[in-house]
A and B are shown apart, each in its own frame.
Chain A
C-alpha cells in the first residue's frame, strides 16, 4: 500500500520536472519474493508487492532510473544503504561496490574484511554489507533508462 503511495508521489514530480531543470527521474520499488505452487504443482517464484511482510521474507529492492534531461548524465552513482532491519543477501546488479563500514570504504565484497574479536579480522560476508553502490563508468545518455536491484531478507 505504502509503496504505491510513495510511487505516486515520486511519479508526479518526475513528470512535472521532465521538461524542467530535473535531469533524472527515479522510482524505488520493493518486492517480496515468494515460492508458490504453480501449474501442475510445480513451485514457482513470484514477485509481489510488500503486502504481508514478516521476518524471514525475501525482498528485492529495485531502483528504476531515467535520464529525462537533454544532456548525458556523467559520474552517475547510485548509493543504497541497506535498511537496518534487512540483511543483504546478494543478487545485486553487476558492477556493484560494497561497504561494510557504513559507507566509509568501498570495494568488491571479496576484498572487504570485518574486524573480529581480539583485533583479528575476517572476510566480509553478505550479511555484513551496510551499503551497495553502483558507479557507472559511462554517461547515461539523454532519454536512457535502466534499473539496478539487490536482494535482502527481513531480519
Chain B
C-alpha cells in the first residue's frame, strides 16, 4: 500500500538516511572494491605469495608465485512492495498508486525490464481475493527520488543502468473502474527482468547465463532466490505484488413527510387539506465502514398537486431516525414543469447522516 499523505514525511526522512548511506558506501568503495553486492564482475583476483630463505647464511633472491582468476557476474535482484499494506481507493478514482522497490543485488550494472501485470482471481498481496482489474496501468520511476508519485516522475518500461547495490522506487499507477464496492480487491504485480546495460538510454538484451564450461573471461550466473510469494530461483527475474482495496461510500436515502399546518387548524393537529403545508425530509445516511461521501447531490421532482414554498429548502439538516431538523438555507428550485428542487449536501462521514428539507403546499 502506499498513502502519500500519511507516510510522505517518513519516506522523505528514510530517503535522506539512504542518501547519506550512499555517500558512506561510495567512500567505502574507494577504500576497497567490495560492496554489499560484492566484488565487481570482471575483476581479477590475484594472489601473490613471496618466499624468503637462506642457504647457509646467505639470503637468496626472493621468490614469488601467483595465480589469478576472474570474478564472474552474479545476477541477483529483488522486487519488494513498499508499505506492506493495501492501497485504499474509491470507485472511479484515477491515478491510484502502489510503490515498489527494485534492487540490483548483482555485482554489475544492469538494466531491468519492467512489467506490471494483474492477478485474475487468487489471493492478493494483502490477503483479500482479487476480483477486479484496474485500468490504464502505467509505471513510473521516482525520478526526483522523494518517495512520492508526482509530476516530476518519469513513465518508464524499464530501468536504465542500475548500479550494483542500487535500489530504485517504481510506482505503478492505474485507474479504478466505477461501480466497485467496498472490499473489492485488485492485485498488481511488478516484475523486473535483468537485462544487459550495454547502452545508456536503451534497454539491453535479456541477460542469459553462461552456457557450458567456465571461461577465463567474465561468466554470468543467476543467483536470485525463491520466495514464499512464488518467485522462482535462478531465473534472472523477480516480482512483488501489491493491491488496491476499494472503499466506497454506501449511501441510502429515506424520504418522509409531515404536515406543518393547514388553513383551518394552523399548526395544531394540521390535516392534509388543500392549502396545507407539507415538509419533506430526505435523509441520506452513509453506512459505517464506508468511505466518506462528498458532494452528495439531491434532486427531487415535486408531485403535480403541490406548489413549492419559496425559500424553504434547507441542506445539511440534522437527521434523527427518519426526521430532519435544523439545516442551512440553500439549494435551488426550478419551476419546470416538472418542478424540481435540488441541492448539495456536505461531506457525509461513514456512519453519519445528513438531511435535505423542503416544503410544499397542497393544491
Contact = CB atoms under 8 A, between A and B. Distances in A.
A77 interface: yes
Interface string A15-35: 000000001101111100000
A118 interface: no
A55 interface: yes
B47 interface: yes
Contacts of A106: none
A77 B53 contact: yes
A83 B38 contact: no
Contacts of A69: 55
A3 B67 CA distance: 5
Interface stretch (B90-98, B210-218, B236-244, B302-310): B210-218
Contacts of B48: 28, 80-81
Interface in B53-75: 53-56, 59-60, 63-74
A79 B74 CA distance: 31
A54 B107 contact: yes
B191 to A, nearest CB: 23
B24 interface: no
Interface residues of B, number: 43
Nearest to B46: A83
B68 to A, nearest CB: 5
Contacts of B72: 52-54
Interface in B64-110: 64-74, 107
B33 interface: yes
Given A2-B70, A52-B221, A55-B39, A86 B45 contact: yes
Contacts of A154: 38-39, 45, 71
Contacts of B43: 85
B352 to A, nearest CB: 58
A51 B46 CA distance: 14
Contacts of A85: 32-34, 39, 43, 45, 71
Interface of B: 32-34, 37-39, 41, 43, 45-56, 59-60, 63-74, 107, 210, 213-216, 219, 221, 223
Given A53-B71, A63-B49, A76-B51, 17 more contacts: A2-B69, A24-B51, A24-B53, A28-B66, A53-B69, A54-B41, A55-B37, A55-B71, A56-B38, A73-B60, A78-B51, A79-B50, A84-B32, A84-B33, A85-B45, A154-B71, A155-B34
Interface of A: 1-3, 6-7, 10, 23-24, 26-30, 50-56, 61, 63, 65, 69, 71-81, 83-87, 140, 154-155
